[in-house]
Homo-oligomer: A and B are copies of this chain.
Amino acid sequence: MSALDAALQFARDNHPRFLDEYRALLALPSISTLPEHKQDVLDTADWVAAQLREHGMTEVEIVPTAGHPIIFASWLGAPGKPTVLVYGHYDVQPVDPLNEWESGPFAGEIRGDYIFARGASDMKGQIFAQIKALESLVKTGQCPVNIKYMIEGEEEIGSPNLQPFIEANLDRLKADFVLNCDAGIHSPDVPAITYSLRGLAYFELEIRTAAKDMHSGLFGGSVYNPIHVLAELIAGMHDAQGRVTLPGFYDRVRELDAEERALLQRVPYSDERWQTMTGTQALYGEAGYSTIERVGARPTLEVNGIWGGFIEEGAKTVLPARASAKISTRLVADQRPEEIYGILKAHLETRMPAGIDWRLHQHSCGAGAIMDRKSAYMQSAEAALKTVFGKDPIFKREGGSVPVVSMLQQKLGIDSIMLGFALPDDGIHGPNERQYLPNFYRGIDTYIHFLLSL
């Protein structure tokens, strides 16, 4: 039996155990943004590190950072072969609104072909499929390449401590390319490789118009209402064509050329499917671009949260003193996230009425990235997908942000192969996040094929 067949057979024989372990991983509520889950995050790091140790990694370390730790592991027993740096994250998003989950967000309930849990798709399911591919290779022979792991616990809060870690470990992280598992395909029948990612710059704006909340009857109509001011500002951030109005926002944006627009045209897409996926009755976006272009190749600005005044049940006749919003921008290649704070701030300075206190805070930022669609490693990934799925993968641009991709491009000088098996309708970051289980198993097979073909 070839090394390939042996590994594939081992994986197949162990599907039930792999699924049990996957559910055990999903049961750990590693919500990185909520301080009360700090210990859960640590427990998850331990759990993942134990897996890597068990599957032959010679060096496994849980490296403390100023926030949540980073797992580093390596095995360099394949001289002459390429060195792959596997990237992933073991943290997850919060689970609110909790009442919209049909089963517990950490229960890992299986309904039909899906497993439901926070992190099932983003991205415990992906990194764990890769680890199970490693196990299948190691337990039936040995890993065919030199391999390193860098699995962080702060991706969902913008990876604040990843760059310092990378800068302090440039030699240790040295590799030929990155296998980034935080990725997805287009649909169960359409394998895909993402070659472009959007960057992110996330802000919080607080507006304060008065020293304290007031009675809306006694003072309403005589002073600024911070909610009105905030609403005006937010309304003014887009024009009637759905374009962002911040001066300078589009200055560095790389416009799509005809060749790439044609390539993106090949991504299977229908309005109907998009609306079903999002549960919307209407699509809306920047004029002059298709939906695929809007989410992959165009920068956007979204308000992620807003609050002010009385927000409990009932009626309180308060004229609030403060209102706040979380505002994030998604950036495309060539836009510089570190410039966006200044662009937003300048816009607000122009629009803000006089006599109002306000504060703009930057939560996080990371650049977008574009990878070479024709590199040798990209071709190996393409072939592995074709073999497992029986179809040529499409190449696509991803609307989400994976800041580590541009970070590793800049710091280590290496490209990332985005190879993961999440689906667009997995509901990541929302309630009832799920993973399509057949993709979990095909993912294991694809990683086996890929690593053996290098």
Q: Which A residues are closer than 8 A to B by beta carbons?
A: 33-34, 93-94, 96-97, 100, 122, 156-158, 198, 200, 202, 204, 209-225, 227-228, 230-232, 234-236, 238, 242, 274, 278-286, 291, 294-295, 298, 300, 302-321, 323-326, 328, 330, 353-357, 363-364, 398-401, 424, 427-432
Check A212/B279 contact, CB under 8 A, given A218-B424, A305-B308: yes
* Cα distance, A242 to B356, chains bound together (Å): 17
Check A399/B218 contact, CB under 8 A, given A284-B223, A354-B282: yes
* Cα distance, A94 to B213, chains bound together (Å): 12
**Chain B residues with CB under 8 A of A321:** 279, 430
Check A315/B228 contact, CB under 8 A, given A218-B295, A294-B222, A305-B309: no
**Chain B residues with CB under 8 A of A122:** 215
**CB within 8 A of A228: which of B200, B283, B303?**
B303
**Chain B residues with CB under 8 A of A300:** 220-221
Contact (Cβ within 8 A) A278 B211: yes
**Chain B residues with CB under 8 A of A398:** 217-218
A204 — nearest CB in chain B belongs to which residue?
B315
* Cα distance, A284 to B212, chains bound together (Å): 17
**CB within 8 A of A431: which of B212, B232, B431?**
B212
30 A–B contact pairs at CB < 8 A? A33-B315, A156-B316, A209-B280, A210-B279, A212-B279, A216-B304, A217-B399, A219-B295, A220-B302, A221-B300, A223-B284, A227-B305, A228-B238, A228-B303, A231-B231, A231-B303, A234-B235, A235-B236, A280-B355, A281-B357, A282-B354, A304-B310, A304-B315, A305-B318, A306-B309, A310-B326, A311-B326, A315-B364, A316-B429, A318-B429
**Chain B residues with CB under 8 A of A223:** 274, 278, 280, 282-285
Q: 9 closest pairs, A vs B, by CB?
A: A211-B279, A282-B355, A217-B400, A221-B300, A305-B309, A281-B355, A231-B234, A33-B314, A235-B235
A427 — nearest CB in chain B belongs to which residue?
B212
**Chain B residues with CB under 8 A of A283:** 222-223
A93, A96, A221, A310 — most chain B CB neighbours (10 Å): A221
**Chain B residues with CB under 8 A of A231:** 230-232, 234-235, 303, 306
Min CB distance A358 to B, Å, is 12
A100 — nearest CB in chain B belongs to which residue?
B212
Contact (Cβ within 8 A) A278 B326: no
**CB within 8 A of A302: which of B319, B353, B401?**
B319
A429 — nearest CB in chain B belongs to which residue?
B215
Min CB distance A125 to B, Å, is 15
Contact (Cβ within 8 A) B318 A304: yes
* Cα distance, A224 to B285, chains bound together (Å): 8
Min CB distance A351 to B, Å, is 11
**CB within 8 A of A94: which of B97, B242, B310, B424?**
B310
Min CB distance A224 to B, Å, is 5
* Cα distance, A363 to B220, chains bound together (Å): 18
**Chain B residues with CB under 8 A of A303:** 225, 227-228, 231, 309
